């Protein structure tokens, strides 16, 4: 068994775990934005914080094992893999999305949320579209 396959398996596993949280957190934001109850508001604040802090290490480990994969394949492969450059740009957008979730979390924590549940419904769909593009690029390698 090669290290490359271990890195690849761990990269995929941590990515799946990360995305489970990234898909669920904005859904919590949808419901949180709709609540009028102080008790429910407090419960959402706890759930959102715990979820975001739980999945953040998965995001970090996804990057670590992705970097190990790139390193294992080598710089010549990296230079020739133009599909990977596009994938990495999309992945950078996902990390920015993840970071923005911390800002949204802080807004809810300090009762500063000004966004509607509708905004969060659309916000919830963005990583799905990017994930489809990333997976297609990684599997098809179109250029």
Ranges of each domain in the chain? 19-58+81-140
Q: What is the pLDDT of residue 27?
A: 97
Secondary structure letter of residue 95 according to DSSP? H
User: Model pTM?
Assistant: 0.94
CB 16 within 8 A of CB 32: no
pLDDT mean by block of 10 residues, the chain; 143 residues: 94 98 97 97 98 98 98 96 98 98 98 97 96 96 92
pLDDT at 30: 98
Tokens standing for residue 90: 């999309």
| Cα 18 to Cα 25: distance, rounded to the nearest angstrom | 11
**Which whole-number Å values give the CA distances from 87 to 19, 133, 137, in the listed order?**
16, 8, 6
- What pLDDT, on the 0 to 100 scale, is given for residue 94? 97
Contacts of residue 34, Cβ cutoff 8 Å, sequence gap at least 6: 117
CA distance 139 to 131: 12
| 3-state secondary structure string across 27-60 | HHHHHHHHCCCHHHHHHHHHHHHHHHHHHHHHHH
Predicted pLDDT of residue 65 = 98
């Amino acid at each position: 068994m090669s290290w490359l396959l271990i890195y690849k398996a761990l990269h995929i596993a941590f990515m799946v775990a990360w995305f489970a949280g990234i898909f669920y957190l904005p859904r919590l934001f949808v419901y949180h934005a709709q609540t009028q109850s102080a008790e429910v508001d407090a419960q959402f604040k706890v759930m959102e914080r715990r979820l975001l802090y739980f999945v953040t290490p998965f995001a970090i480990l996804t990057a670590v094992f992705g970097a190990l994969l790139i390193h294992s394949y080598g710089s010549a492969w990296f230079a020739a893999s133009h599909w990977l450059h596009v994938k990495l740009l999309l992945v950078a957008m996902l990390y920015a999305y993840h970071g923005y979730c911390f800002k949204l979390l802080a807004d809810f924590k300090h009762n500063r949320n000004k966004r509607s549940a509708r905004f969060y419904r659309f916000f919830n769909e963005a990583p799905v579209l990017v994930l489809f593009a990333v997976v297609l690029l990684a599997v098809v390698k179109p250029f």
